Amino acid sequence: MAKKNKIENQKTKDLKQFETDASGKVMTTNQGLKVNDTNNSLKSGERGSTLLEDFLLREKITHFDHERIPERIVHARGSGAHGHFELYKSIPEYSKAGIFNDTERKTPVFVRFSTVAGSKGSPDLARDVRGFAVKMYTEEGTWDLVGNNMPIFFIQDAMKFPDLVHSVKPEPHREIPQAASAHDTFYDFVSHATETLHNQIWAMSDRAIPRSLRMMEGFGIHTFRLINDKNESHFVKFHWKPKLGVHSVTWDEAVKINGADSDFHRRDLWDAIDSGHFPEWELGIQVVAQEDEHKFEFDLLDPTKLIPEEMVPVQIIGKMQLNRNPENFFAETEQVAFLPGHIVPGIDFTNDPLLQGRLFSYRDTQLSRLGSPNFHQIPINRPIGEVHNNQRDGHMQMDIPKGQTAYFPNTLGGGCPHLAKMAEGAFHSYEERIDAKKIRTRSESFSDHFSQPALFYRSLASWEKQHVTEAYIFELGKCTQKRIKERMLWLIAQIDTDLAKNVSKGLGLKIPKEIDQPINQAIGADADVKNHQPPKKKNYLDSDPALSQANTKFDSIETRQIAVLVADGFSMSDFSAKKKALEKEGAMLKLIAPHGGMVVSDDNTEHEVDAAIMTTESVLFDAVYIPGGKKSMQGLMKESKFKKFINEAFKHCKTIAADHEGEELLDKTFVANYNDDKAILINEKPATLIKSIAQHRNWDRMQIAAQVPA
């Protein structure tokens, strides 16, 4: 034992020489160079492009890109599918890109959806931003639109990306919590980097817990350029609008879904495509003329800002359909490599400092994760056109280049591969004039951190605002440091006073009148802090209806999951009438019975049970229907979980329908007291049931539903 202790003590001594403690120390690079600013990349002017010579940016991001292997550092948990894109109308006035001008094309696509913060094995229903990455295999080359389901990002400069991700990832000393932002390090960061507040309030909304990957929007986030044949530039933001509308689950449901089916989103996407219910999104663009770059009260190059659709409407120009599941998850969904730097002629970049950093970071990450500069040769990443250049060899080279030469210019190879001419579709960068000082700072036009979060909150329906309040209470309630909670309360009050008051009540804390540290620490140590404080919020628009899910589409029940509660003796006449009408509209009916196997209707026909009541939960379904049948009701009432199933569906504001004797089961639940509820349907026609389910939820019930026991 003494010898063992001696060995352990020596091991401890050996490890201690490698321990570091940053307390009271100045920041340095990995070479010991003292650092004055770790918040801003080096640019050609305040709003200029990021410079390749920025060794501080490269060191910081390179280390971050390589700190996890082999799964993605962020967006590790993903689901993918194949499909195609079709153009509705050509837009030659904006872009010369073939994908935006040839309405006869069907461009192949592969889309990967993902959560951001969790590891590969984390559950689907985490409160999180969702990745929405689209790879388009165009005839002119591959175009990757690598976005999210929220139109803005947390930070303004790529230099801050490692800090953001480190703050939201599990705390390093104990590696918890997983796939969750409700902890001290995240809110410590958010409360000091106020540029995060816009994306953060979106993450507190229902947008962070979508009902389905098929029912969420996608955004390119950044402002890009479109270039036409005359080499004229227009600014553009890209939108994906789901044909099924934008719908979410409640937080209470999300928690329970993670327990009942942690693969809920992945399974939902796969099953929808497998059953022929192909999800679709329309591609929309917001276009701003080059000369109008500075006409707004926000900066187009700021990735934490959106362009309100009330100011610049979205023009719908095409449609994407996903219609084929991957054959092998690893070979396709896991190995697909998206790079924002993959563009085609007619599309170009802007000086958005987050985008500029991503152009470097994504390629660097793929080199680490996929292990070779030849990752473009993996089948899922191969372009549809031929590839010819003088890049050779490398780990996992899968092509067999022929010929004597691998350089340019040459005569031994006949000058091949030769350079393409502009007329042949060669890429040409937009010739933007640059005349600026080399500087590490941030434009003051990026400093407004409160106006757009306030606009977002003002635009929400009352039930959405309630959910935002509850999310803040939950998230901040998980923090252990009082000063972090109070700092967040002060910041929320700058966004909306009523929101802050409601959150403060839930936390049992007062909103501080002031905070004792500078708000904006997204600047260098020697910068003038006073001149970089976020100004008070502006109201340049009372509301933008497009920001609220209350204004989404409510005209389809396709792929909605309907739980049909049955036992032996259920009414076949009731069931068949509803089944025929619901399935005609694309809904999916699932028989839930006291047991598995088969259940017999009152006409003595057998029906296969989809789930025994003890193996499923109401949170997995969009609505509940109970056919009549006296014997069936007797069987259902013997199992108390059927009552819990109905009560929970009521609590989550879903449609509940019953025919004839089915009402007897409802009378044994919380529903009995609220038969006048517009989404409680007794002996109603199928058309009424369809219309009710299409509304997604009856949010008028929310205050009553809150009284239902969990």
Containing structural domain, residue 271:
43-180+209-381
| 264 and 350 housed in the same domain | yes
| 587 and 618 housed in the same domain | yes
Question: What's the pLDDT score for residue 710?
Answer: 65
- Rounded Cα gap, residues 496 and 453, in angstroms: 9
Taking only the tens place, the pLDDT of each residue in 52-63 is 888 778 878 877
- State the CB neighbour count (10 A cutoff) for residue 20: 6
Please state the rounded mean pLDDT for residues 327-332.
90
Q: Does 161 belong to an annotated binding site?
A: yes
Q: Would you say residue 582 has pLDDT above 90?
A: yes
| 616 and 529 housed in the same domain | no
Please state the rounded mean pLDDT for residues 294-313.
97
- Asked whether residue 541 is domain-assigned, the answer is yes
Q: Identify the band that residue 672 occupies on the pLDDT scale cut at 50, 70 and 90.
A: confident
- The CATH number that applies at residue 275 is 2.40.180.10
- Asked whether residue 189 is domain-assigned, the answer is no
| 127 and 115 housed in the same domain | yes
Question: What's the pLDDT score for residue 399?
Answer: 87
Q: Which of 40, 148, 149, 228 is catalytic?
A: 148
Q: Would you say residue 532 has pLDDT above 70?
A: no
| 565 and 631 housed in the same domain | yes
- The CATH number that applies at residue 492 is 1.20.1370.20
Q: Which of 550, 581, 602 is the last residue before a domain boundary?
A: 550
> Which among 158, 157, 150, 160 has a CA at the least distance from the CA of 128?
150
Q: Does 112 belong to an annotated binding site?
A: yes
Question: What's the pLDDT score for residue 8?
Answer: 47
Please state the rounded mean pLDDT for residues 483-508.
97
**Sheet (strand 623-626) strand order:** 611-612, 588-593, 561-565, 623-626, 655-658, 680-682
Question: What's the pLDDT score for residue 529?
Answer: 61
Percent of the chain with pLDDT over 90: 73
Provide the CA 396 distance to its chain's centre, in angstroms.
32
| 526 and 590 housed in the same domain | no
Counting every residue, how long is the chain? 710
The one-character DSSP state at 595 is S
Average pLDDT for the chain: 91
Strands (E), 407-525: 438-439
Please state the rounded mean pLDDT for residues 37-51.
88
Q: Which of 489, 524, 550 is the last residue before a domain boundary?
A: 550
| 271 and 298 housed in the same domain | yes
- Asked whether residue 323 is domain-assigned, the answer is yes
| 593 and 650 housed in the same domain | yes
| 486 and 609 housed in the same domain | no
- Rounded Cα gap, residues 694 and 252, in angstroms: 21
- The answer to whether 286 and 280 have CB atoms below 8 angstroms apart is no
| 534 and 479 housed in the same domain | yes
**Residue 549, burial from CB neighbour count under 10 angstroms (0-12, 13-18, 19+):** buried
323 catalytically annotated: no
Please state the rounded mean pLDDT for residues 430-447.
90
Q: What single-letter amino acid sits at 45?
A: G
- Rounded Cα gap, residues 74 and 303, in angstroms: 18
Please state the rounded mean pLDDT for residues 35-40.
82
Please state the rounded mean pLDDT for residues 173-195.
95
Q: Which of 40, 75, 222, 647 is catalytic?
A: 75
Dihedrals φ, ψ of 195, to 5°?
-60, -20
Question: What's the pLDDT score for residue 388?
Answer: 86
Q: Does 358 belong to an annotated binding site?
A: yes
Strands (E), 371-515: 438-439
Within the chain, what is the greatest distance between any pair of CA atoms? 90
Domain count along the chain:
3
66 catalytically annotated: no
Taking only the tens place, the pLDDT of each residue in 120-136 is 999 999 999 999 999 99
Q: Would you say residue 424 has pLDDT above 90?
A: no
Q: Would you say residue 6 has pLDDT above 70?
A: no
Q: Which of 508, 527, 550 is the last residue before a domain boundary?
A: 550
> Which among 80, 453, 464 has a CA at the least distance from the CA of 247?
464
| 520 and 558 housed in the same domain | no
Beta bridge partners of 137: 142
- Rounded Cα gap, residues 441 and 425, in angstroms: 37
| 535 and 626 housed in the same domain | no
Q: Does 174 belong to an annotated binding site?
A: no
